[in-house]
Structure 1
Amino acid sequence: MDDLTCDGNSSCLNFCRYPTLCYMDLMFVIAITFLILIGNFGNLFVFLLTPSFRNGHGIILISLAIADFGTGIISCFSIYPMATFLVTPEAWPYGDTACKLTAYFGQVFITSSGTTLTFLAIERYIAIVHPFKYSRFVTKKVTLTCVVVSWVGIALAYVTTLTDVASYEYVPALHTCTIAFLGEPVLIAFVLFVI
Structure 2
Amino acid sequence: MAIVIIACNLTVLLVHHLTPALHVPISVFIKSLAYADLWVGVNCALNIGVTFARGWPYGLWTCKLIGYLLLVVVLVSITTLTCIGIERYTAIQNPINYRSVVTYKRARICVILIWVLCGLVFLPAFFNWGMDVDIHGSCPLFWRYNISFGFFLISILIIPNLLISIICYIRIIHTLVARQRWLQTTGSTFNGPQQQNACQKQHEKLMAKIGLAIMSAFYITWLPYVASSFIRYLDLANIPQDLYNGTLYLGISNSFLNCVIYSISHQAFRDGFKNLVKRCCCSKQTKSYESGSPGWSRRTTGSNSPSTIHDTSIRIQKLDKNQIKSQPLKMTNN
For normalisation by structure 1, the TM-score amounts to 0.65
Which 5+ residue runs of structure 1 have no aligned equivalent? 1-31
Moved more, 41-50 or 108-117: 41-50
Aligned identity (percent) is 29
Residues 175 and 168 of structure 1: CA distance in aligned 2, closer, same or farther (over 3 Å): same
Q: Could you tell me which residue of structure 2 aligns to residue 183 of structure 1?
A: 148
Which residue identity is paired with 1:96? L
Please point out which of 132, 143, 146 is paired with 2:107. 143
Tell me whether 1:107 sits opposite 2:71 in the alignment: yes
Residues 68 and 188 of structure 1: CA distance in aligned 2, closer, same or farther (over 3 Å): closer
Q: How far did residue 160 of structure 1 move?
A: 2.8
Q: Distance in 2 between matches of 1:179 and 1:132?
A: 49
Q: Secondary structure of the equivalent of 2:132?
A: strand
Q: Which has the higher strand share?
A: 1
Write out per-residue CA displacement over residues 32-60 of structure 1, whole angstroms, 9 at most, x where no aligned residue.
Answer: 32221111111111112222333311111
Residues 139 and 73 of structure 1: CA distance in aligned 2, closer, same or farther (over 3 Å): same
Q: How far did residue 133 of structure 1 move?
A: 2.5
Q: How far did residue 184 of structure 1 move?
A: 4.2
Q: Could you tell me which residue of structure 2 aligns to residue 64 of structure 1?
A: 33
Which residue identity is paired with 1:46? V
Kindly tell me the number of residue pairs found equivalent between the two proteins: 155
Which residue identity is paired with 2:61? T
User: Please, what is the CA RMSD of the aligned residues?
Assistant: 3.2
Q: Distance in 2 between matches of 1:79 and 1:129?
A: 47
Asked whether the 8 Å contact 1:102–1:177 carries over to 2, the reply is yes
Name which structure has the greater RCO, CA cutoff 8 Å, separation 6+.
1
Q: How far did residue 75 of structure 1 move?
A: 2.1
Asked whether the 8 Å contact 1:63–1:116 carries over to 2, the reply is yes
Large movers: runs of 4+ above 4 Å: 184-189
Q: Distance in 1 between matches of 2:47 and 2:83?
A: 28
1:8-87 counterparts in 2 under 5 A? 32-82=1-51, 84=52
Asked whether the 8 Å contact 1:70–1:109 carries over to 2, the reply is yes
1:85-96 counterparts in 2 under 5 A? 89=54, 91-96=55-60
Asked whether the 8 Å contact 1:100–1:168 carries over to 2, the reply is no
Q: Secondary structure of the equivalent of 1:108?
A: helix
Please point out which of 116, 133, 142 is paired with 2:97. 133
Larger radius of gyration: 2
For normalisation by structure 2, the TM-score amounts to 0.40
Q: Distance in 1 between matches of 2:134 and 2:12?
A: 31
Which 5+ residue runs of structure 2 have no aligned equivalent? 162-334
Q: How far did residue 120 of structure 1 move?
A: 1.1
Q: Distance in 1 between matches of 2:34 and 2:15?
A: 10
Which residue identity is paired with 2:12? N
Please point out which of 152, 158, 169 is paired with 2:132. 169
Residues 35 and 186 of structure 1: CA distance in aligned 2, closer, same or farther (over 3 Å): closer
Q: Distance in 2 between matches of 1:148 and 1:179?
A: 28
Q: Distance in 1 between matches of 2:150 and 2:141?
A: 17
Write out per-residue CA displacement over residues 96-149 of structure 1, whole angstroms, 9 at most, x where no aligned residue.
Answer: 122101111101111111111111111122222322232122112321221111
Q: Distance in 2 between matches of 1:126 and 1:142?
A: 14
